[in-house]
C-alpha cells in the first residue's frame, strides 16, 4: 500500500480545511507556526496559499520532548523562532505527520512558554492514526494507516514530496 | 576502546561519542565542540523568552560543589540549571564539611546518597573533577567549573561562542591572550579550543615570568612586547591578574604591569578596527584594562556573561543526555543477554 500520494491534492485539502475551520470559528488573523522540519516547509506553502503576510513561526521541540530520559538530547537542535507574540493569538499549528501525538503535546507546551494563545488549530499533512495521547488534528490532508514495517516522510522544501520507506532502511 | 579507560577522553565520552562528563577540552574534536556551540545558540533563544525555562532536566538534582569561591561562574551555573528546570543545591565547601575534617570521598558519598544527578565542581587542585568522575556512581555527570591551573572548559566555550557570534567563523582569525597565562586555567582551555576550531593564530602576550614553561607546546606563538603583539588582531582576550595566586615577586608592580600589558585605547588602536575585546571577569579596571576600553564599543565582556548561561545549559543537558542514553543502552543490552 505504497500508492503514491499527490502532494498538491493533499495541500488543497489542507487549505480548504483550514479556510473552513477559520470561518467556522470566526478567526480573521491567524498566526502560523510550523514544527521543524516538515511542518516549517508546509507553513511556508500554506501561509502563501492562505494569503497570510505575517511571517510564520518555526518551532524546534527538542527541549520539550518527553523521551529525554531515554535517548538524551537531540544533537541537531536549532533555535525556535516565533516572530510574533503568541499571547491572545489564534494559532494554526502545522506538522507533516501525526502519529502518537507526543510531538504536538511537546509543541503546545513550548508555545505556552511564549504566552497564552487564544486558540490553537492543528493541521497535519498526513494522519497515520496510532495515537497514544488524546490529541486530534482539526485538519488533515490525508488519513491513512501504514503497515508496521512502513514509514512515511516528507522531503523538501523544493519540491515537496512524500516518501514511503520500508523500516530499517 | 584502548587500554587507558581512565584518560579524560574516555571518561568524558560514551561509547558512541556523546558527552557524559565535561572535564576538559582535551580529546573533544571539532565536531563535538561545534555541537556544543550550536546547542548553546538554541539556549540563547530560550533566554530571550518571557518564560526562560525548558523542561529538560525537570526532577533532576544538580549540586554546585564549590571548593573555591566564585560568584559569576557559580551563579551562571545555578541559573543555567534552573532554566533547565533542575533542582539546584549550592554547597560552598570551603566554609563547610571539609573544614570539619570530612574527606572529599566522604562528602561525595553523602551527596550521592541524596540522589544527585550532576555535580558541578570547582576546586583549587588540578584534576579534582577528573578524580570525582572516576569514582562517582554511574549515571551521575560531572562538570568541571575550573580546577587549579588545569582547565576551565565552560569559560573557554562561552568565549568561543562569543567569538563565533561576532566573527562568524574561526578560520583566518588572529586571537591574542594577554596577561597572566601562568596562573590561568582559562588560557589553557582557550588555546586548545581555538586550535581545534581552526583559528589561524593563537598568540600569548605576557612577561616571561607570567608564562608557563614550554608555553608554545600548547599551540600558540609568544610575544613579549604588547605593541607588536596587538598587530592584525581580530580578538584580544585579557586575563585577570590573579593576585591571590601570586607567589613570590613575579611582577614589579601593578602600575608597571598596566603600563606594559594593560589594554589601553592606544594599544587597542593597533589591532584591526573591528577587533573585539574579551575578559573572563572579574575585571581589575586600571590593572589589565582601561575603563574606556572595558565599557567601549569593541568590548563584548557582558555578552560573555550572557553566553555563559547558554553554554552551561548546553553542556549540562548534553552530559545528562549522554548519561541517560548510556544507562538505557546498558539496560537494553542486559535485557538481550
* B120, B138: one domain: yes
| pTM, full prediction | 0.91
CATH code, domain with B228? 3.40.50.1370
Does B333 fall in a domain? no
Give the model's pLDDT for residue B219: 94
Nearest to A71 among B46, B51, B325 (CB): B325
Nearest Cα to B263, choosing from B232, B284, B234, B242? B284
Which B residues in the span 11-30 are in contact with A, Cβ-Cβ below 8 Å? 18
- pLDDT at site B246: 60
Same domain? B204 vs B281: yes
C-alpha cell read off for B1? 576502546
* Statement to judge: residues B209 and B256 lie in one domain: yes
Distance CA B331, CA B312 (A): 29
Q: Which residues of chain B have pLDDT under 50?
A: 1-4
Are residues B159 and B176 both part of a single domain? yes
User: How many domains does chain B contain in total?
Assistant: 2
The pLDDT score that the predictor gives to residue B77 is 97
- Domains and their CATH numbers in chain A: 7-166 (3.40.50.2020)
Q: Give how far the C-alpha of residue B60 lies from the chain's centroid of Cα atoms, to the nearest Å.
A: 23
- State the smallest CA–CA distance between residue A127 and chain B in angstroms: 27
Query: What pLDDT score does B245 carry?
Result: 59
- A contacts of B45 (beta carbons < 8 Å): 79-81
Distance to chain A for B219, nearest Cα, Å: 29
* B284 occurs within a structural domain: yes
Q: Do residues B54 and B190 both lie within one domain?
A: no
The answer to whether residue B328 is domain-embedded is: no
Q: What pLDDT sits at residue B71?
A: 85
Task: Note whether residue B334 is domain-resident.
Answer: no
Of B201, B205, B211, B241, nearest in space to B224 by CA: B205
Among B56, B315, B322, the residue to mutate for chain A (most A Cβ within 10 A) = B56
For each of chain A's 169 residues, which pLDDT tens digit applies? 445 788 999 999 999 999 999 999 999 999 999 999 999 999 999 999 999 999 999 999 999 998 998 888 988 899 999 999 999 999 999 999 999 999 999 999 999 999 999 999 999 999 999 999 999 999 999 999 988 888 898 999 989 999 888 876 5
Q: Are residues B264 and B177 in the same domain?
A: yes
- Contact check, Cβ <8 Å, A73/B49: no
Residue B336 lies in a domain: no
Prediction ipTM score? 0.85
C-alpha to C-alpha distance for B263 and B181, rounded to whole angstroms: 15
In this prediction, residue B52 carries a pLDDT of: 93
Same domain, B249 and B169: yes
Cβ contacts of A71 on chain B, cutoff 8 Å? 321, 324-325, 328
- Judgement on whether residues B200 and B128 belong to the same structural domain of the protein: no
Residue contact B328–A60, C-beta within 8 A: no
Yes or no: say if A118 and A92 are a contact pair by the CB < 8 Å rule. Answer: no
- A-chain CB neighbours of B39 within 8 Å are 73, 75, 77
Residue B158: what pLDDT?
A: 98
Q: What is the pLDDT of residue B72?
A: 87
Peptide bond into A159 cis (omega under 30): yes
B50 and B161 share one domain: no
Looking at residue B100, what is its pLDDT?
Answer: 65
**pLDDT for res B247:** 59
Strand ordering across the sheet containing A31-35 = A57-59, A31-35, A90-98, A119-127, A139-143
Looking at the structure, tell me whether residues B109 and B128 fall in a common domain.
Answer: yes
Domain that includes residue B94, residue range: 8-151+306-320
Q: Do B34 and B173 share a domain, yes or no?
A: no
At B2 the pLDDT is 40
State whether B280 and B165 are in the same domain: yes
DSSP run (H or E) holding A119:
strand A119-127
Amino acid at each position: 500500500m505504497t500508492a503514491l500520494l499527490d502532494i498538491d491534492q493533499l495541500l488543497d485539502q489542507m487549505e480548504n480545511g483550514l479556510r473552513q475551520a477559520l470561518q467556522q470559528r470566526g478567526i480573521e488573523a491567524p498566526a502560523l507556526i510550523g514544527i521543524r522540519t516538515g511542518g516549517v516547509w508546509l507553513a511556508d506553502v500554506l501561509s502563501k496559499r492562505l494569503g497570510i503576510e505575517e511571517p510564520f513561526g518555526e518551532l524546534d521541540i527538542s527541549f520539550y520532548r518527553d523521551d529525554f530520559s531515554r535517548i538524551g538530547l537531540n544533537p541537531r537542535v536549532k533555535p525556535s523562532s516565533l516572530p510574533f507574540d503568541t499571547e491572545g493569538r489564534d494559532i494554526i499549528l502545522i506538522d507533516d505527520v501525526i502519529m502518537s501525538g507526543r510531538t504536538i503535546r511537546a509543541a503546545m507546551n513550548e508555545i505556552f512558554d511564549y504566552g497564552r494563545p487564544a486558540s490553537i488549530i492543528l493541521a497535519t499533512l498526513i494522519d497515520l492514526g496510532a495515537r497514544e495521547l488524546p490529541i486530534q488534528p482539526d485538519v488533515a490532508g490525508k488519513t491513512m494507516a501504514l503497515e508496521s514495517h512502513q514509514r512515511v516522510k516528507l522531503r523538501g522544501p523544493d519540491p515537496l514530496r512524500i516518501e514511503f520507506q520500508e523500516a530499517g532502511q | 576502546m584502548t587500554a587507558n579507560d581512565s584518560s579524560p577522553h574516555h571518561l568524558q565520552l560514551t561509547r558512541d561519542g556523546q558527552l557524559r562528563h565535561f572535564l576538559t577540552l582535551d580529546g573533544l574534536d571539532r565536531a563535538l565542540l561545534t555541537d556544543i556551540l550550536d546547542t548553546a545558540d538554541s539556549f540563547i533563544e530560550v533566554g530571550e523568552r518571557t518564560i526562560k525555562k525548558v523542561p529538560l532536566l525537570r526532577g533532576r538534582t544538580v549540586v554546585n560543589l564549590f571548593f573555591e569561591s566564585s560568584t559569576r561562574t557559580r551563579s551562571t551555573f545555578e541559573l543555567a540549571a534552573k532554566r533547565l528546570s533542575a533542582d539546584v543545591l549550592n554547597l560552598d565547601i570551603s566554609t563547610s564539611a571539609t573544614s570539619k575534617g570530612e574527606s572529599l570521598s566522604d562528602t561525595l558519598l553523602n551527596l550521592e546518597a541524596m540522589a544527585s544527578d550532576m555535580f558541578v565542581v570547582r576546586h583549587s587542585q588540578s584534576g579534582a573533577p577528573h578524580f570525582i568522575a572516576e569514582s562517582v556512581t554511574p549515571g551521575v555527570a560531572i562538570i568541571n567549573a575550573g580546577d587549579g591551573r588545569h582547565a576551565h572548559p565552560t569559560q573557554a566555550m562561552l568565549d568561543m561562542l562569543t567569538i563565533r557570534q561576532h566573527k562568524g567563523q574561526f578560520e583566518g582569525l588572529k586571537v591574542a591572550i594577554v596577561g597572566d597565562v601562568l596562573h590561568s586555567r582559562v588560557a589553557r582551555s582557550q588555546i586548545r579550543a581555538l586550535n581545534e576550531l581552526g583559528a589561524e593564530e593563537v598568540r600569548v602576550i605576557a612577561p616571561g615570568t607570567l608564562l608557563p614553561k614550554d608555553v608554545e607546546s600548547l599551540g600558540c606563538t609568544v610575544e613579549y612586547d604588547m605593541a607588536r603583539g596587538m598587530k592584525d588582531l581580530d580578538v584580544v582576550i585579557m586575563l585577570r591578574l590573579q593576585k591571590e595566586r601570586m607567589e613570590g615577586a613575579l611582577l614589579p608592580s601593578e602600575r608597571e604591569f598596566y603600563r606594559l600589558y594593560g589594554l589601553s585605547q592606544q594599544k587597542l588602536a593597533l589591532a584591526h578596527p573591528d577587533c573585539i575585546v574579551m575578559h573572563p571577569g572579574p575585571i581589575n579596571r586600571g590593572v589589565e584594562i582601561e575603563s574606556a576600553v572595558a565599557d567601549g564599543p569593541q568590548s563584548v565582556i557582558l555578552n560573555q556573561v550572557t553566553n555563559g548561561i547558554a553554554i552551561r545549559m548546553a553542556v549540562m543537558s548534553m552530559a545528562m543526555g549522554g548519561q541517560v542514553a548510556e544507562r538505557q543502552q546498558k539496560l537494553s543490552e542486559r535485557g538481550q543477554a
